[in-house]
A and B are shown apart, each in its own frame.
Chain A
Amino acid sequence: MEPTGNIESPRGKSERFVRQLTEHQNRLYGYVYSLLGDHARASDVVQETNLVLWRKIDEFDPEKPFVPWAFATARFQVLAHLRDQNRDRVLLDAELAESLSGQVSDQASQIDSVRQALRGCMQRLSEEHQQMLHSRYSTGKPIAEMATISGRSVSSIKVSLMRIRRQLSECIENRLATEADK
């Protein structure tokens, strides 16, 4: 018997799946990064998570929200990564990661708003501070190198970076709060 109209074709399903997966990559990255605090490892774990999700495509239900499902999978991947004894040092232990995971998912779901707020907040920084952030976070320049170039000490660069970050996160928080009021 021919499949009836309300059973979606495998092709349609995988297209929807890929669309969702692509759309939520940023959120997944934010989630995993926050629990690992390391870009290279976060990339690996997101990649593993993508593959696991894809293997579980049978469980994928287009009618259900994608993000909680993806986060739950990512959570297992992160925990497995942290528990792996052969790893180099990790920042959080599995227990802490588990207890933070709820807060992290809340924040990671709105990472696009964070990015949007970040863009606005970046503009408010002085050019010098923008440049520092750019050196550190876009080009990945080591702090020691930044210190040599600017003729400042390593510790003074660190203090500046911490201040700028603090300033940025306060600005972002304010923006997100006003956004929510609208």
Chain B
Amino acid sequence: MSKILDELDALLLDWECGELNDAGIERVREILRTDEAAQAHYVQQQMLIAAMGLEADSGLQNPLPIEEKQSEPTRSFSSDLTRSRRPHRRAGYWVAVAASVAFAVMSARLVYWEFFGETRTGSMAAVGRDSGEAVESTSQGVALLTRLVDVQWDDQPAMEVGEAISPGRFALASGFAQVEFFCGATVIIEGPAELEVVSPMMAKVRSGRLRAQVPPAARGFSLTVDDMTVVDLGTEFGLSVSDDGADVQVFDGEVELQSPAAPIRRLTAGEAIKRTDSGEFEQSTIQPERFLDSSSMASRAEGQRQQNFERWKAWSQSFRGDPRVIAYYAFDEPSDWRRRLPSTKDPSTTLDSSNTPNQHDRELDGAIVGARQVKGRWPEKGGLEFKHPADRVRMQIPGEYSSLTFSCWVKIDSLDRWYNSLFLTDNYNQGEPHWQILDTGQLFFSVRVSSEDGGPEHREVLSPSFWDPSLSGKWIHLATTYDVPNQQVVHYLNGSEIHRESIPDHQLVPVTRFGPSTLCNWSSPLRPDAHFAIRNLNGSIDEFAILSEALDAEQIQEIYEYGKP
């Protein structure tokens, strides 16, 4: 690389940081005026930054946050708070502006045109500017992934059902994916397939077999193959793209084929046409059975779901016999629980003081207060929904332990409270753990160090924020391990580590205990700090366990893999 380009890069970085003085600006201009290679380099670098801005805004490449520093003392709370809120200023701003202008143009234009025949632009500008100010959380998806059957991904990160698809490459090595575009079109894609999702109304197809169902509201949805565009006029059609051409088959309704070289063609139900790789059109016959339709897709997905449920059930059966289980609630009986949350821990694993199996396992049953019984991750199993400040499950967990693992499957609707409880002991005495989520979306774990005021402060282990609105209403797995010998706390989301922190000697509590405790709420409103004593979760839970050992990453991953719906 030439010296000039190095110099230009340094100047541009200074400019970007707002540190470039007049002489520097003049130097940039001079370089660009005289050096053609520098011009090309400039354009390339700027496009990279623009692209990064767009990416940042789409939230796509948000690498797992690495812990920035471990030495922060317990009062780091507020700085974590500000750190974890992802500022959307710059790039986010323009997207909101663009979207609002487009929307305002669309809606106002239509209304004005129809009723007044003409429209003024002044008010439009105001609308665009005002709504642009609101830094609203944006979701950059253009489609939703709604079903997956036996999917292997092709050189791209694995995606889960319910995830939004952003513009870009979407490729399956095998299996079936059902994608619902935000315009309303549903497309079933059979791998191997490669697409480029462009907008809520459009995707480019490089290869693969697709079936698109386009209700009237989504008319105009189009798929393009090279320079040919298949525009849907409200219909159901199949498109198969391979090296020797593109095959379009219309099962219902009508589609329009547009390509620069040929006049627009319309195909109606029962017609099929093939465009060879040389660009010629040939009649062909329709074979709807070659394209998986949505009801077969549904039954295949259902089959897989059933299979997953059976797998989880088998896993859960063996898990409840694990001697490390302190308490376990599988919520596996969908029947009426008579306001009791039955403990699913295998009683024979509990040894009482005389070393005989403890038969009084019912002691661990939780008492449901308020919380509503709902369906869990699978309709065959139950869950509990917490909505009101009083909703809770009370439990009484005897014994003393050391290291711990907390694991639960939870569906969070929103984080309304300052502290949103997962599991809290009533009194928070010495050795008692608190496990909750802050309104910033950070997972929080602490163990009380000393019962006396003025004793050493407890250690708040906060993960970076894992929450974003796209997780709302989705079943997620959360786990935290408290490892006494290694003096570490580790937080996990969906089987992956999100934070790890060492506990210094003076904040390490070797003996842990629970006693009267509460799931998804707190039962200690009499404390002086009662102003934030309302800690009920706004969401549902359908599996919860505490173990007397800090599980390692692999074991947490296993719980997640078996429990994934």
Contacts and interface: CB of A to CB of B under 8 A. Distances in A.
A111 B48 contact: no
Given A89-B25, A118-B52, A43 B101 contact: no
A103 B98 contact: no
B391 to A, nearest CB: 36
Contacts of A96: 29, 32-33
A162 B13 contact: yes
Nearest to A57: B109
13 contacts: A23-B198, A25-B95, A25-B102, A26-B54, A42-B50, A43-B90, A54-B101, A91-B15, A92-B29, A114-B48, A127-B63, A161-B13, A165-B48
How many A residues are at the interface, by size bracket? 35 or more
B198 A158 contact: no
A135 B53 CA distance: 12
Contact of A50 (B49, B98, B167): B98
Which 10 pairs of residues, A with B, have the shortest CB-CB distance?
A43-B94, A138-B56, A39-B90, A34-B46, A33-B50, A130-B63, A137-B52, A30-B50, A18-B106, A25-B98
Interface stretch (B121-129, B514-522, B527-535): B121-129
B217 interface: no
Contact of B43 (A21, A34, A140): A34
Interface in B152-206: 167-169, 196, 198-199, 201-202
A148 B196 CA distance: 41
B12 interface: yes
Nearest to B40: A103
Contact of A37 (B10, B15, B22): B15
Nearest to A133: B52
How many B residues are at the interface, by size bracket? 35 or more
Given A18-B102, A131-B65, A142-B17, A43 B48 contact: no
B291 interface: no
B89 interface: yes
A169 B48 contact: yes
B47 interface: yes
Nearest to A158: B13
Interface in B103-162: 105-106, 109-110, 113-114, 121, 124-125, 128-129, 132
Interface string A20-59: 0111011001100111010110110011001100110000
B93 interface: yes
B113 A37 contact: no
B45 interface: yes
A119 interface: yes
Contacts of A119: 55, 60-61, 168
Nearest to B199: A23
B50 A34 contact: yes
A132 to B, nearest CB: 10
Contacts of A54: 101, 105, 109, 121, 124
Contacts of B43: 34, 100, 103-104, 107
A153 interface: no
A133 B121 CA distance: 40
B97 interface: yes
A23 B99 CA distance: 11
B49 A33 contact: yes
A17 B49 CA distance: 28
B163 to A, nearest CB: 15
B466 interface: no
A138 B62 CA distance: 8
B265 interface: no
Interface in B31-73: 32-33, 39-40, 42-56, 60-66, 68-69
B396 to A, nearest CB: 44
A54 B101 CA distance: 10
A118 B53 contact: no
Contacts of B124: 51, 54
B55 A115 contact: yes
Contact of B114 (A11, A165, A169): A11
Contacts of A111: 47, 50-51, 54
A100 B52 contact: no
A141 to B, nearest CB: 9
Contacts of A149: 68-69
Contact of B94 (A47, A91, A103): A47
B46 to A, nearest CB: 4
A50 B47 CA distance: 20
Nearest to A47: B97
Contact of B90 (A14, A25, A40, A118): A40
